[in-house]
A and B are shown apart, each in its own frame.
Chain A
Amino acid sequence: MRAPVTIAKSGAVWRESTPIASKAYGRALLALAEADPRIVCLGADLTGPTETDLFRDRLPDRFFNLGVAEANLMCVASGMARTGDIPFVNTFGVFASRRSFDQVTLQIAYPRANVKLVGFMPGLTSPGGPTHQATDDVAMMRALPGMVVMEPACATHVAPMLAALVAHDGPAYMRIKRGDLPLLFTAETCPPIGKGQVVRRGRDGWILASGVMVTLALEAMEMLAEQGIEAGLVNLPTIKPLDVALVAELAGEGKPMLVAENHSVVGGLGSAVAEVIAESGHALPFGRLGVEDVFAEGAGAPFLFDKYGLSAGAIAGRFATLSARNRGMSPVP
């Protein structure tokens, strides 16, 4: 029998009842650019998929399509930034990182060029398999000195995050799911660059997450509550510079901590948090949930999140195990 097709256009991995907004990025970028003539928009033949058709149609003189040529794209952005513009470079996360990493390193990060890289289809939100799934972009970008690395969890956070990136004079990389994003929080709750958002405190420990994993963590918390486990949640929209003070403070509680990321467990948010904990001297049950050290495959996001252990159920299961270990018990079956 044929397996069900789950390549939903939105790539939604959350419950159907989750409220959503579409093209939050495209709208926010256009609004910022209309108020700030320094902003220019660059792309590489992915105008629709990066929501920049809105920008192109409204501000065509400030829109530059470089074609399928990402190495050139990155260096052109550097040249424009060196001449006073603020380029937003829009492509898929795989192309912003792997495809043009030398150019990003030497022409954007090294000179601290005021370029904002925006990488769509993070992790397993792309149905395109390893060619299109950015499962290692955070690891690469995080290794670059001075590079700010962000990922919004919520549609309403996109505009304030973009405004913060424009106010920040220096290079940044924002990975963002294309199309629909969940509506979780008010804009006022969006923390500044480098700070985390304590969404909810919980008696039994913490889930730390970014991007779509925040929505799934909220679902996981409901599942855990049914088992009598009360997990807290921190949204970390800035992966670098990490909110080290907050992570260390939470680690100091000594309670279980699970980091959930839509990325390889090698070098991403989980690694960043683990580094802070290891150097803090605190001991606690700790886990990293993400794509294990494997390449995934082309399929629908709900299928992939399930198969590669990124689903709400997987988060709940991992947290329950950590929690049980903390109490010297077996996890609730």
Chain B
Amino acid sequence: MSRAPSPHRLALDATALAEKARRLRRHVVRMVAPIGEGYAGQGLGAADILAALYFHEMAYDPDDPGWEGRDRFILSPAHYGVGLFAALAERGVMPVQELAQYGTDGSPMEIIASERLPGVEATCGSLGMGLSVGVGMGLSLRRHGSASRVYVLIGDGEMQEGSTWEAAMSAVNFGLSNLCAIVDVNDMQVDGATTSVMNMGDIAAKWRAFGWNTIALDGHDLDALLAAFVSARAHGAGPTVLVADTRPGRGVSALEGRKSHFAKLPPELAAQALAELEG
């Protein structure tokens, strides 16, 4: 079911990943708390997916984030940067103490993640670009005979950008089996629930209709995520998408399920959240 560990692939089991995800959530709360509000809901909601990628699935060298043989992860909604930075630090790209610089003036850990920080593969805060960049990387990697894979996290609200479907079409056209997209279906965008702002109906059906190997799962179920990554790697005919149902703010009872694009995180709530995430 899971991958074998290698020097560049940690391949932690689901129990160890759950602990990593808990640590990522603590980092997210600590990073947003000094600002008092931010993308906490997204960072908490995607923690399990990020943990599964960086601590099990992806080949990565924290000492050399530009290592040619790495698997690539593209964060298309760069607003989730808080979660990515936590994962990069926890993986060892930088000391976790540096996370305190998140969002401060002059820091490369910008609120909307940019590639000023080593480990951020592309600057995608303008939505609808990340999957296309992933298609380009997938094409080049295949052309060069590389075994590296490309993972792209996209948001469900982001699927409203038409370019998402240009990318979806092209990945199938080119048969990119080294590409795996993960849609974070948290039913949340700036103006409210995605289903109320611009209801896209059956999301998995849309990806299937575009020809993707489509796996619907619970985005907090680590065993299911690992199994889906195995299935994605085994699928040689084209790209795979994980349609991952998640809850924004997952793990913090006061935030979980709250559809707030830029959530308030006052000191007392942050303290309560950290206590809850103590494990």
**Chain B interface SS verdict (over half):** helix
**10 tightest A-B contacts by CB?**
A79-B136, A75-B132, A83-B140, A72-B166, A69-B166, A76-B136, A71-B163, A79-B137, A79-B133, A80-B136
Report chain A residues within 8 Å CB of B126: 102, 106
Q: Does residue A238 face the partner (Cβ distance < 8 Å to B)?
A: no
Does A84 contact B132, Cβ atoms closer than 8 Å? no
Contact of A76 among B115, B135, B143 (CB under 8 A): B135
> Given known contacts A72-B167, A103-B129, A111-B115, is B123 in contact with A80 (CB within 8 Å)?
no
> A97-118: which have CB < 8 Å to B?
102-103, 106-107, 110-111
**Bound-state Cα–Cα, A61 to B145, Å:** 13
Report chain B residues within 8 Å CB of A61: 143
Interface size class of chain A, counting residues whose CB lies under 8 Å from the partner chain? 20 to 34
Report chain A residues within 8 Å CB of B122: 78-79, 82, 107, 111
Q: Does residue A244 face the partner (Cβ distance < 8 Å to B)?
A: no
**Bound-state Cα–Cα, A130 to B11, Å:** 55
Report chain A residues within 8 Å CB of B130: 75
**Bound-state Cα–Cα, A41 to B135, Å:** 15
- Name the CB-closest residue of A to B148: A83
Report chain A residues within 8 Å CB of B133: 75-76, 78-79, 82, 107
> Given known contacts A66-B170, A72-B132, A110-B123, is B162 in contact with A79 (CB within 8 Å)?
no
In the complex, what's the smallest C-beta–C-beta distance from A96 to chain B, in angstroms?
A: 15
| Count, chain B residues at interface, CB 8 A | 30
Most A CB contacts (10 A, CB to CB) among B136, B137, B140, B170 go to B136
In the complex, what's the smallest C-beta–C-beta distance from A33 to chain B, in angstroms?
A: 13
> Given known contacts A78-B122, A82-B121, A110-B123, is B136 in contact with A71 (CB within 8 Å)?
no
> Given known contacts A83-B144, A84-B144, is B169 in contact with A77 (CB within 8 Å)?
no
Contact with A along B114-144 (1 / 0, CB 8 A): 0100000111111011101111111111011
Q: Does residue A64 face the partner (Cβ distance < 8 Å to B)?
A: yes
In the complex, what's the smallest C-beta–C-beta distance from B243 to chain A, in angstroms?
A: 21
Q: Does residue A85 face the partner (Cβ distance < 8 Å to B)?
A: yes
Does B137 contact A82, Cβ atoms closer than 8 Å? yes
> Given known contacts A67-B170, A69-B169, is B140 in contact with A75 (CB within 8 Å)?
no
Report chain A residues within 8 Å CB of B128: 71
- Name the CB-closest residue of A to B161: A71
In the complex, what's the smallest C-beta–C-beta distance from B146 to chain A, in angstroms?
A: 8
Does A77 contact B136, Cβ atoms closer than 8 Å? yes
Does B123 contact A79, Cβ atoms closer than 8 Å? no
**Bound-state Cα–Cα, A40 to B141, Å:** 13
Does B123 contact A76, Cβ atoms closer than 8 Å? no
**Bound-state Cα–Cα, A102 to B115, Å:** 17
In the complex, what's the smallest C-beta–C-beta distance from B172 to chain A, in angstroms?
A: 12
Does B141 contact A76, Cβ atoms closer than 8 Å? no
> A4-53: which have CB < 8 Å to B?
40
Report chain B residues within 8 Å CB of A71: 128-129, 132, 162-163, 166
Report chain B residues within 8 Å CB of A79: 122, 132-140
**Bound-state Cα–Cα, A84 to B122, Å:** 15
